[in-house]
Amino acid sequence: MTIASLKIGLSAAFALGLACLPVHAQNFNVGRSLIKGNAVQYLYPEQVTVAAGKPSAVTLHFRIAPGLHINSHTPSEDYLIPTVFSIPDGAGARLDKATYPSGTDITLPIDPKTKLSVYTGDFTIEARIVAVAGNHLVEAKLHYQACDNNECMPPKTIPVAIDVIGK
């Protein structure tokens, strides 16, 4: 083996090692997200019966994975992503109003002077839904950003499937 081929071989190995670093880091982050699964789980109800054409209260139940929190609907800082429930147009039902729980104020070890308004554990959203007569599989959505005490995951939207029967 010549010195020139050794230099080329070492340069290629070094470049290959650098090229693999970002992939490895990405796999680690993806792996952590996969280990945690969805940070928020929609629990119930799967089906509701409401008076057709009239706003009807429906309590939606959610659970946040242990060790995580999500920003409340009214986060303490403008740059934080709020938790928002929505029903898309054309679903056979519409969201008249959503009432969110008050957030719990927490401080994080990395910034003990800043209070954050968050949800942890189980929480509910009181939704007032107006449905037309009939049976409608509504694919509502919950948009949130989950964090632990050190970092935040990218914002996520999960489906909230509700069979709405308007009578």
pLDDT digits (tens, 9 = 90+) for 33-90: 433 468 999 999 999 999 999 999 999 999 999 999 999 999 998 899 999 999 999 8
Answer yes or no: do 86 and 134 share one domain: yes
Answer yes or no: do 68 and 114 share one domain: yes
Answer yes or no: do 49 and 93 share one domain: yes
Answer yes or no: do 28 and 51 share one domain: no
The parent domain of residue 14 ranges over: 1-36
Per residue, what are the HEC states of 56-101? EEEEEEEEECCCCEEECCCCCCCCCCCCEEECCCCCCEEEEEEECC
Closest to 66 measured CA to CA, from 11, 21, 121, 12: 121
Looking at residue 2, what is its pLDDT?
Answer: 45
Answer yes or no: do 71 and 93 share one domain: yes
Give per-residue pLDDT as tens, 132-155.
999 999 999 999 999 998 889 999
Answer yes or no: do 21 and 93 share one domain: no
Structural domain count, the chain:
2
Closest to 108 measured CA to CA, from 45, 151, 140, 72: 151
Answer yes or no: do 61 and 18 share one domain: no
What b/e readout covers 73-109, taking b as 16+ CB neighbours within 10 angstroms? bebeeeebbbbebebeeebebbbeebebeebeeeeee
Predicted model pTM: 0.76
Answer yes or no: do 118 and 60 share one domain: yes
